[in-house]
Amino acid sequence: MAVERLLKDEATEEKGDRARMASFVGAMAIADLVKTTLGPKGMDKILQSTGRGHNVTVTNDGATILKSLHIDNPAAKVLIGYRLAAECARNALLQKAKDNKQDPDKFKSDLMKIAMTTLSSKILSQDKEQFAKLAVDAVLRLKGSTNLESIHIIKKAGGSLKDSFLDEGFILDKKIGIGQPKHIKNAKILVANTAMDTDKVKIYGARVRVDSMAKVAEIEGVEKEKMREKVQKIIAHGVNCFVNRQLIYNFPEELFADAGILAIEHADFEGIERLALVTGGEIASTFDNPESVKLGHCKLIEEIMIGEDKLIHFSGVEMGQACTIVLRGASSHVLDEAERSLHDALCVLSQTVNDSRVLLGGGWPEMAMAKEVDDLARKTPGKKSHAIEAFSRAVRAIPTIIADNAGLDNAELISQLRAEHHNDTTNAGLDIISGGVGDMERLGISESFKVKQAVLLSATEAAEMILRVDEIITCAPRKRENRIPSPSSVNLPCLLPIGIEAMASSRRHFLLCLSFLLTVSGDSSESDRVLDLPGQPPSPRISHFSGYLTVNRENGRALFYWFFEAQTLPSDRPLLLWLNGGPGCSSIGYGAAVELGPLRVKRHGTGLEFNKYAWNKEANLLFLESPVGVGFSYTNTSSDLTKLDDGFVAEDAYSFLVNWLRRFPQYQSHDFYIAGESYAGHYVPQLAELLYDRNKDTKNYPYINFKGFIVGNPETDEFYDSKGLLEYAWSHTVVSDQVYRLANRVCDFKLFNWTDECNDAMEMVFNQYKEIDIYNVYAPKCTLPQSSSSSSFDEDDAKKSLMRRIRRYAGYDPCFSTYAEEYFNRVDVQRSLHANVNGRWRVCKVNDAILYCYSDSILRTYNFTVFSVLPIYSKLIKAGLRIWIYSGDTDGRVPVIGSRYCVEALLLPLKSQWQPWFHNHQVGGRSVEYRGLTMVTVRGAGHLVPLNKPQEALVLINSYLRNQQLPTHK
């Protein structure tokens, strides 16, 4: 019987010597890269990111270098995390190690020597004695603990590295407010995370009917009294310092000042967690039971100056081992590398305190171990001796490399060291300063036994693993042509169709290959990297990824994404998720390719052009095609499309986000925001609420660093949106007085389902928009054949369900819809994006026939179950999330009038008046800031603000992400 081949044609297989050689080459490449950084004369590496920003890091820290690499070689992947590749004998280390733990003076001297040895090859080498003392003093304060959280490092630009110092206390990078006490002895500290944001009530925007101003004063007085009661509860704890993670506004701040209490606001969460730890307190959020709240204590709180900055100093804290190391330096690059160097020293020292055994350095332990291994090789008969001799040569490679890096004659020096080490009591090692062999004990060059042992064991395990490799199998690229396969046509990348005779024995091969596939390639972000996208301009370079993530395995439901890394400093920029509305319209076809992505579709879909106002100038941009059935997203269970509603969409989006962060773990700690427009005015707040609720249950859900959301021309509340649509059409002369009065008379927009009379009246309103663009009433109408997004329902469609409200897409210019559909239906584009589609890809799923299980419009089948998301706004505003709403003021579909009604209905206190904001010496729009929410208009923009006003939109997102007010001066 013929042997069936299990691997597909595009899969590769290497066996025997070729596989071993590939492993060796990978190991040697990593070793060659890192070895030049070793020793006091080791060189720095300039690391340049592959992203468009070309972020540059200058370092000789091995962990930083290896972490920054993209490795394809299988053996090289095994070596990530290891700095050395060598074999040694652990017994030699044990025999040579010394332990001075019982003599505090000698042990501290050992720690100083280890710290200075660690810092000798770092940026701090010129001041290594000073920083070694800082590190030793900080670690000894831990009293044997390896938890470095108690050592706080603050970086302040200015001065020189010599100005760095250690402070025996805790320094909080905040200022003391005006009128607050600057000096508090025997402080009792209440650390809290609570809302203190009702300093006074502003009546602007609220609807209050009173017969005198005295009644207004009564309302304001009641609100103030509530805040006064809360402040009194806090004061009742007997504290003289109140530290809050959230803002403290004027009125409570005044009450605290009158009570002689220092109130510190807006301390970051890491800051208050560490402050609670070192002062012995706990973070509180309720204050009804003072006996259940644990206060923090310290002997003195005072304001100090570091450079030009004011900070708050807590001394005599309850956790005596806490301290702060303040680093000074000329630039952020110097400070970052200094922090990395100091962190290395702190890690080594904390491990040495835990295991106090010490070795000499300068290549002394390697030469001592090589001597022991050589002795063993001479005693061992047969071929084993050759392997043992090879181990000895590998161990001696370390001092050889150190000598090479210093520009010394390594052959001469290593020969001298071998001769010296025939004396068992020798302390000989490399003296790089003098360029010869020296006494390591006299020179004070020492290393930690625990760290050296860990390096040796890791190197041994890595070498053994590489030597065991005799075959390397590389799976074929994942194929996605059959997006909705039938059960009989399941196509796994590792498998070929197997003959009838072999089917009985193929199951174990199938399971083995499937397991290998999921392990090797299932969670790799690199497999989703987009290369050679047709029509993409050659410059500037853009780093982007696209592909599928499964959100429901049982139903075979997967959502498609397109991700663009930030143009500069992607590792420092926030992550922004963008959603489009409809329901049923693609964020790839609109958000990414038409509005705010870095690659815009050219006219007639002929290619792409660079968008110089792309939002990935400010953030890492993630576009998601949601809900399932939109664009390239798909399901293998057609009944999913009949279950779509806001809750279903939010759950899928949350599952996608969790899985995406697992595929891109480097973004898990980034600040995360959500943005969108149109019906995403429903999607975004409901996903935000889900994130907020599940972040409070970290036992069952992963924590996502969610900070807030921003929505444009959002559908928010059915009553206010419909009322605003009608009033906008009348006020902008789209409809006659008679139609306006008729619709006002027969329509009760508070009803979820309209009457037949109301449907007829509103159909008359929509008919008036046929000759102009409802999404930008002052823009020329597109004269191209309309795409799917502009199709509308006839009267029967509108009345398909009894008393149903007319549903029309909340968005989108038909010309750009046509261009996007022409481009994304190209086979070469879909292949490059790792996407596939059955039938024709649509910007929006509409009522024209669509193949397979998508035979109906998502808009038709969508279950509209949420009348208003305003209650969610109220909840998330109280939670302290950053929330902005923006509106293009020429949009007739979700007009600014309706959005203003919605914001007014929230009854938020006013923080700043309605005022113009400026861009390029011109009015960009208007803005108004409430407590917890900012509303912005964009002058001259329609429904697609980033398309109509790209420069103003970039200013808008920049201000939002930086939490800054829009420019209010020309």
Q: 544: which strand partners?
A: 564
What's the per-residue H, E or C state across 631-660? CCCEECCHHHHHCCCHHHHHHHHHHHHHHH
Six token digits for residue 590: 């609109």
- 375 labelled catalytic: no
3-state secondary structure of 267: coil
List the strands of the sheet with 165-167, edge to edge.
151-157, 323-329, 165-167
C-alpha 175/C-alpha 304 separation (Å) is 9
Q: Is 79 left (phi over 0), alpha (psi -120 to 50) or beta?
A: alpha
Helix runs in 808-912, H state only: 814-824, 827-832, 858-861, 870-878, 896-905
CA nearest neighbour of 855 among 877, 830, 838: 838
Strand bridging mode 183-192 / 241-244: parallel
Whole-number Å distance between alpha carbons of 268 and 324: 17
Q: Do 938 and 756 contact (CB within 8 A), yes or no?
A: no
Which residue pairs, CB below 8 angstroms and at least 24 apart, start in 500-503?
A: 501/1, 502/4
Neighbours of 515 (CB within 10 A): 11
CB 573 within 8 A of CB 670: yes
Q: How many other CB atoms are there within 10 angstroms of residue 669's CB atom?
A: 12
Active site residue 891: yes
Going by C-alpha positions, the residue among 585, 855, 894 that lies closest to residue 721 is: 894
Numbers of helices and strands, H then E, in the chain: 29, 31
> DSSP code of 591?
I
Q: What's the start-to-end Cα distance of the chain, in Å? A: 84
DSSP string, 725-775: HHHHHHHTTSS-HHHHHHHHHH--TTSSS--HHHHHHHHHHHHTTTTS-TT
CA distance 716 to 866: 10
Known catalytic residue at 525: no
**Cα(814)–Cα(785) distance, rounded to whole angstroms?**
8
- With contact defined as beta carbons under 8 Å apart, do 905 and 720 qualify? yes
Cβ of 969: how many Cβ atoms within 10 Å? 7
Phi, psi for 386 (deg, rounded to 5): -65, -40
Q: Which structure tokens are listed for 273?
A: 């967690």
Which tokens sit at 783? 């004269």
Q: Are 542 and 599 in contact (CB under 8 A)?
A: yes
CA atoms within 13 A on the CB side of 103: 9
Residue type, 183: H
Please tell me the distance from the alpha carbon of residue 641 to that of residue 858, in angstroms, as a whole number.
Answer: 7
Which candidate in 120, 891, 919, 927 is catalytic?
891
What is the three-class DSSP state of 249? coil
Encoding tokens for residue 385?
């001796």
CA count, 13 A, side-chain hemisphere, 183: 0
Q: Are 868 and 718 in contact (CB under 8 A)?
A: yes
DSSP annotation of 244: E
> In this structure, are strands 882-888 and 706-714 parallel, antiparallel, or unpaired?
parallel
Buried b (16+ CB within 10 A) or exposed e, 568-582: bebbebbbbbbbbbb
Provide φ and ψ at 62, rounded to 5°: -60, -40
Known catalytic residues? 678, 891, 943
